[in-house]
Structures are given as C-alpha cells and as structure tokens.
Structure 1
Amino acid sequence: MSATSPHPTLPPGLTALSPGEEAVMRAFGRILLVLPRAMNADLEAEQRMSLSEYSVLRHLSESPHRRMRMSELAQACDMSLSGMTRLAAKLESSGFMKRVKCDEDARGWNAVLTDKGLDRLREAWPTHLRSVRRHIFDHLGDLDLEALAKTLGKIAGDA
C-alpha cells in the first residue's frame, strides 16, 4: 500500500503522505540503495578497493594518532564488530593497518593506520572524490548545502 493512499482505518492524527512527500520518500529510499553501490563500483573498478575498506582507512586517518578502538571504528563505519574484525584482518594482511592491545583496557583492541595504509588512502582519494562529485554534488546545483547537511543530520540523528 502506498503511503499516499489513506487506509480506511487510519489512526487519528496520522495523515497520509502527499504525492510530493511520497516522491521524496521513494527517491530517498532509492538513493540509500544505489548510491553506496555506485560509489563502491567506482572504487572497485579504479582502485580494487571497496567503499568499506576506504571508509575504514579514512576514519583511521582522521583519528588522533591514526588510532581507534575496534568497536568505535565499527560504529563509525556502520558495521557489526564481527564484520569489522573480518575487514580489519584483510586490511592488516595487506599492511594497511594493524591491531594492537588497548593500553587502558587489556580486553580491547585498537586499529592503527600504518604509513602504507595512509599512502593507499591518498592513492584512492581522487577516485573517491570524483565519485562523490559525479554521484552527489553534480546533481545538487544551487541548493543550500549548509541547510541540506543540517536537515540530513537531523534525519540521521532521529533514525
């Protein structure tokens, strides 16, 4: 059932979406599916690197001492801890990061970006930048980017 088609027993106070709202909802849902796939395809084709791998290296590069707890890195990359552990093992085997015991907590592990990993991130960055521009910013025209970022941040914070 479409969100624009009111159900005969619609609860009081709940309003069906307008056709314009329905169009936004459907387009937004489509973007959530196709945008990561397109950006991943660009990185895979040009860099033989997944968007998830790029995201891990980017987050580590932006962290103090290029280091993050594995659990925090997983959260930042929107991955499960087990998924992050598998990806970290792959990146570690390539020499792009290493895992070390946390000084503060003997049970925890930190992911640390290596110099080789930083070099790899720098190598892949132009491909990622071209992809972001082509798939996102080339379509936004004169939109108020500050307002858009604020609104998207509200949506993400509410989810």
Structure 2
Amino acid sequence: MKKIILLLALSTLIFSCKPKAAVTNNKVDNKSQVAIKGNWILSSVAYPGSEYIKVNSFQIADSKCFEGSTWKFVSNNDSGQMALTKSDCTAFTSPIKWFVNKDGQFVLKIIYAGEKAKKVRDGYVLSLAAQTQESFQLIDKINVGGKMTDVVYQFNRVN
C-alpha cells in the first residue's frame, strides 16, 4: 500500500512540474513598437524563391490585394486601423490590435465588425525584420507543398 501511495505521489509530482510553454512572449519591446507608431503603406508582398504562389493573407484577401493598403499603428494603446484600397480588389477596413514582443515577433489581431478586441482569441504572429525609421518588414511563414516559405510584407512610412 505504501508503494502505491509513493508511486502516485511521485507521478503527480513529475506531471505537475512540467513547465508550460507560452505560444508567444507577451513582454513588449517598447523601442521597436514606438518606432512603428504612425501611418504606413504596405508597398509590396513578396515570396522569395516562390513567386508563383497564391496566398490568402490573414484570411481576408489575396496577398496582392494588400499592396497599397494603409495601416495606422498607435503604440501607446496597441491599437490601429488597416484598409485595403486596391482598385481591382474588394475593399476592406478593420480596427487592429498589435504589439511587438521581446522575441522580435509582431503579434496582430484583426477586429471584425461587431467584435470586441478582448473577445478575439485568434491572431497572427509574424517576424519583424529590417526595421528602420522609414520602413520595416513583417515576415509570415506558410507551408507550400511541405516546404516552409516566407511571405514578406514591406511597409514604408507615409510622410
């Protein structure tokens, strides 16, 4: 009987001590985030090494419809706005919530009509790259035929 109790206690200890892994780091990189504050245009979408693929970005529209879209980032409350305005694509406008974490990840939630930001549980985690005062890139990784491929969103500041 003592062996069973000891075994149960030991197995409970082993399973309860397993560390929980976070999906993304929640600690904000204030420097990167403040540098993104302002108005931006998404000037291009590229797929290095795979130019002949079709991507539905953020489950909204074809990635090429995002070219020319306008984005406003407000860093003090992690909010903003995005608008697709390309003439041969369906128009789309939405508020967003976002932040840049200490791992260099850009975390984005798109808030659809009638939703409250705190109720939205799904979002997108992209890598932040090539950040300057005038431009930055967001890089998404997608699976194309079993091979991970980058989708590079190039942003340029609107003056």
Q: TM-score, normalised by structure 1?
A: 0.24
Q: Which has the higher contact order (CA 8 A, sep 6+)?
A: 2
Q: TM-score, normalised by structure 2?
A: 0.24
